[in-house]
Amino acid sequence: MDTYQDITDWLNRQPEEDAIDDAGVVEGEPFDALYQDLHRVARSHMFREQPGHTLSATALTHEAWFRMKEQTRTRWASRSHYLAVASTMMRRILVNHAVAKRATRRNAATTSLTAAEWVPAPERDDELIAVHEALLAFAAVDTRAAQVVELKFFGGMENGEVAEALGISVATVKRDWQLARAWLWRELQGA
């Protein structure tokens, strides 16, 4: 049987069927293969983050895994479908982390320093939030192209993987990617 099909079948089984050791760790070949894919997607997300980020690719992988494990009603169509949803989950984790960090900086500025003493350091968190907000606005214009951006830019997926995950052709992925890049660039320049 195809390894990707094995992973899809494994994902769609009931949670109690998983081989879990005494420490609560999932074991087995399908998990090992999927974990490597999840970690690759997490590394792609973390590549765009500021050095010294409090989350690592491994921590992001684990957080996404636990949140994805809660998706008990979802019937996974393929490994790519799972990775696409996991990539979206990872982006949301990072955006939530950036928003919380921004709020903490604002609270620290208003409670412990005067306005003249506090100068915010330029951070990629603000850039991530701006891209996230622009992507949400673009999704209202072209949902599929926004999904292409999500999977290619944030998830680090190749055109073929994106095409499989979204059920479209590679040529459509390329067209959507070009359209989305132009729209987002224009939107972010005005921000």
Q: How many domains would you assign to the chain? A: 1
Domain span at residue 104 reads 3-189
Confidence of residue 117 (pLDDT cuts 50, 70, 90): very low
Torsion region of 20: left, alpha or beta (phi above 0 gives left; psi -120 to 50 gives alpha): beta
Residue 110 is which amino acid? Answer: T
Encode pLDDT of 60-104 as tens digits: 999 998 888 887 787 888 888 889 889 989 988 988 888 887 766
Residue 119, Cβ density class (10 Å: 0-12 exposed, 13-18 middle, ≥19 buried): exposed
Quick one: CA dihedral 186, 85, 129, 46, positive or negative? negative
**DSSP string of 129-176?**
HHHHHHHHHHHHH-HHHHHHHIIIIIT---HHHHHHHHT--HHHHHHH
**DSSP string of 13-78?**
S-GGGS-B-TTS-B-SHHHHHHHHHHHHHHHHHHHTSPTT-SS-HHHHHHHHHHHHHT-TT-----
Alpha-carbon span 1 to 52, nearest angstrom = 42
DSSP 8-class letter at 188: H
The CB density around residue 127, as the number of other CB atoms within 10 Å, is 16
Encode pLDDT of 87-99 as tens digits: 989 988 988 888 8
**Residue that has been written with the tokens 């081989």 in this structure:** 19
Helices 79-112, 57-69: axis angle to 10 degrees equals: 110
pLDDT at 174 over 90: yes
pTM above 0.75, yes or no: no
Residue 184 is which amino acid? Answer: L
